[in-house]
Amino acid sequence: MKKYNVAIAGASGAVGNTMLQILEERNFPVNNLLLLASKRSVGKELTFNNKSYKIEELKHDSFKGVDIALFSAGGSISKEFAPSAAKNGCVVIDNSSAFRMDEDVPLVVPEVNPDDTFKHKGIIANPNCTTIIMVVALKPLHDYSKIKRVVVSSYQSSSGAGAKGMGELEDQAKAWASNTEIKKQHFQHQLLFNLIPHIDVFTDNGYTKEEMKMYYETRKIMGDESIKVTATCVRVPVFTAHSEAVTIETEKVITPEKAKELLKNAPGITVSDDAANNVYPMPLMAAGKDDCYVGRIRKDVSCDNGLNFFISGDQLRKGAALNAVQIAELLITKM
């Protein structure tokens, strides 16, 4: 089997670490592995396939001889270094928002639009985590009956804000348990015992950037600019895995029974829907798993062609690192 030289830019972060873990879990054919990050992480060691690797400083000339680079170092870093990597003949799979809406950059979820992978010009964008988790479930339904409108409310875990976000929730829980002051630093308000309907910055139309990402990215990934999407994104006091309450309106009726059949046969989906036994998707169920869990599937009683369902998915895995590795797996089928 042919092997490939792989780099991870942002290897010291939560997503970068998960990318490394998933490359190992899925036996990706790695020849040489290069771990890159900022100066403050240089020299730290990470393990891959029982071998220790030291993190090196990310530079413009880091990508000579690299076949595939997985980027998860933030938008500004991607904008600076991804073009340099592409110029060196490396294919960049970027987890930031830097290139997602660039017309020349495919935005890929392998279960939804795998063929777009091969339209790249050196850079492929990984979508936003909330978008990925949703469109995996939308795809089989849209293929059966065109989706006209999506209304989604997300319930996004603290780790969606990185290791610092998860750490803040943990610190707040410890402070509450010890009856000491609960401090906030990374979130706008106390997250413990609270919900914050504010992720990313607000835009002029009253939506946040996170919400507008779901609008624009869903249409691009699904290849249908006519789909209407409205989102409300909420931070919740959960460590790992995002959840979403989704309502869709379709051209023709999709019964709950038909929806379950379609979703059960779809890649990347586990149907968890048995209300009589209190079985439905939850973050604890999805954390650490590759599939997105879908349940609470029911007819929308307010709309003739409406369907409601609930999704939970691990945003560090399918929402970020796993999706990137799956794109890499597609790439090497034609490299």
Residue 190 CA to its chain's centroid (Å)? 24
> What are the pLDDT digits (tens) for 168-182?
999 999 999 999 999
- The DSSP code for 318 is I
Is residue 129 annotated as part of the catalytic site, yes or no?
yes
Q: What is the pLDDT of residue 200?
A: 96
Instruction: Establish how many alpha carbons lie within 13 A of residue 250's alpha carbon, considering only the half-sphere containing its beta carbon.
Output: 24
Active-site hit among 90, 129, 233, 292: 129
pLDDT at residue 1 greater than cutoff 90:
no
CATH of domain 4-126+320-334: 3.40.50.720
Domain with CATH 3.40.50.720 in the chain: 4-126+320-334
Q: What is the pLDDT of residue 22?
A: 98
CA–CA separation, 150 and 107 (whole Å): 19
Domain with CATH 3.30.360.10 in the chain: 131-315
Q: What is the pLDDT of residue 304?
A: 94
CA–CA separation, 107 and 113 (whole Å): 8
Tokens matching residue 153: 């409310």
Is residue 303 annotated as part of the catalytic site, yes or no?
no
Active-site hit among 90, 120, 142, 242: 242
Average pLDDT, the chain: 97
**Nearest alpha carbon to residue 322 among 289, 294, 282, 283:** 289
CATH 3.30.360.10 matches 131-315: yes
CA–CA separation, 94 and 97 (whole Å): 8
> What are the pLDDT digits (tens) for 279-304?
999 999 999 999 999 999 999 999 99
Q: Report, as an integer, the average pLDDT of 254-260.
A: 98
**Nearest alpha carbon to residue 286 among 257, 322, 251:** 322
**Would you place residue 123 in the very low, low, confident or very high pLDDT band (cuts 50, 70, 90)?**
very high
Q: What is the pTM of this model?
A: 0.96
Q: What is the pLDDT of residue 297?
A: 98
> What are the pLDDT digits (tens) for 6-63?
999 999 998 999 999 999 999 999 999 999 999 999 999 999 999 999 999 999 999 9
**Would you place residue 162 in the very low, low, confident or very high pLDDT band (cuts 50, 70, 90)?**
confident
Ranges of beta strands (E only) in 72-187 are: 91-94, 123-125, 147-156
